[in-house]
Amino acid sequence: MARENQKLTWLRKCSSVLRRLIPGRRLNPSVGSSGKMDSGKFEEMNDQLIQWEILENEAPARNQELVSIIIPIFNQLAITEQCVESIQSETDGVDFEIILVDNGSNSECHEGLNLLASRFSNVRTIRNPENLMFSLGNNVGVAHSKGAYLVFLNNDTKVISGWLSNLLKPLRSDPEIGQVGSKLLYEDDTIQGAGFVFSDKSKVPYFLHARSPRAANFVNKQREYQAVSGACCGMRASDMIEIRGFDCGYINGCEDIDLGFKIRFELKKKVLQVPISEIYHLESRTEGRWIALEQNRSRLLDRWHDKIVADDGYFYQEDGFIVVRYEKHGNVENEDLAVYIPVLKKA
pLDDT digits (tens, 9 = 90+) for 255-311: 999 999 999 999 999 999 999 999 999 865 556 566 789 999 999 999 999 999 999
Residue 20 has pLDDT above 90, yes or no: no
Distant-in-sequence contacts of 115-124, Cβ < 8 A, 24+ apart: 116/80, 116/81, 116/84, 120/84, 120/88, 122/96, 122/97, 122/98, 123/84, 123/97, 123/98, 124/3, 124/97, 124/98, 124/99, 124/100
- pLDDT at residue number 48: 87
Which tens digit of pLDDT belongs to each residue from 71-100?
A: 999 999 999 999 999 999 999 999 999 999
- pLDDT at residue number 165: 98
Which of residues 193 and 34 earns the better pLDDT score? 193
Residue 155 has pLDDT above 60, yes or no: yes
- pLDDT at residue number 22: 52
- pLDDT at residue number 343: 97
Please report the domains of the chain, with CATH numbers, ordered by start residue: 2-21+39-346 (3.90.550.10)
C-beta of residue 98 within 8 angstroms of C-beta of residue 157: no
**Is 0.85 topped by the overall pTM?**
yes
Which tens digit of pLDDT belongs to each residue from 121-140?
A: 999 999 998 899 999 999 99
Residue 72, C-beta contacts closer than 8 angstroms, at least 6 positions apart: 101, 103, 134, 137, 138, 141, 155
- pLDDT at residue number 89: 98
What does the pLDDT average to over 230-256? 97
